[in-house]
Amino acid sequence: MKILQMVVGPISTNCYIAVNEKTKEAVVIDPGDEGQRIADEIKKANLKVEAIFITHGHSDHISGLEEVEAATGAKIYMSKEDAPRLGNRQSAFSYTSRKKEQTIMAPNEFFSDGEELTVGGMNFKIFATPGHTVGGVCIQCGDVVFCGDTVFAESIGRTDLPGGSYDAILKSIKEKILPLDDKVKLLPGHGPATTVGWERRRNPFLQ
């Protein structure tokens, strides 16, 4: 698997594209903004996007969704708990560079905790990690975890917005992320990559 990273939108959201190098099939994770730019990158790399995975329903992780879905025809996957945010922009919070109101959308498939699925010849495992939002998820593929806004390099996601819970996010990280091998790479929704081992030792919220 090859991972392409794009930093999009006014608060620098990480959008990832997981690519099966043998088949050129791909999965887009969190098209947070600048959807046309993401679509252009997909076309430039000659990728066939099979799915769009959403880690959680805040606006800075979904604002490019409409354009990416239109360009690829890919199925949208996210949790049932956060899915209503696609239809209610006020509940999505955060920021977008888009000038016009977005189309109300709905997922094609709902994630479930512990689910394993194969998309584009790549194997993914879903972890429900509520805390930043009620329906936040982390998504593991091999030795990489796309962790949205659950955990960052030496920090954790904010929990002061409706649906957030400090106790829940710590529980999610300690029960779903920290049991993984120290070498597993964490790719957060904002900022630099880190590893499970680094966060286990250096993250002040987890000590």
CB count within 10 Å of CB 175 equals 11
Residue 106 is predicted with a pLDDT of: 86
Q: For residue 83, what are the domain limits?
A: 2-206
* CATH assignment at residue 124: 3.60.15.10
Residue-level length of the chain: 207
- pLDDT, tens digit (0-9, with 9 covering 90-100), for 153-202: 999 999 999 899 999 999 999 999 999 999 999 999 999 999 999 999 99
Residue 101 is predicted with a pLDDT of: 56
Number of domain units in the chain: 1
- pLDDT, tens digit (0-9, with 9 covering 90-100), for 56-101: 999 999 999 999 999 999 999 999 999 988 866 554 454 555 555 5
Name every residue whose Cβ is closer than 8 Å to that of residue 40 and which is 6 or more positions away in sequence: none
CB count within 10 Å of CB 192 equals 11
pLDDT class for 104, splitting at 50, 70, 90?
Answer: low
pTM for the complete prediction? Answer: 0.94
State the average pLDDT for the chain: 93
Bridge partner residues of 146 (DSSP) = 139, 187
CA dist., res. 16 & res. 64, Å (int): 12
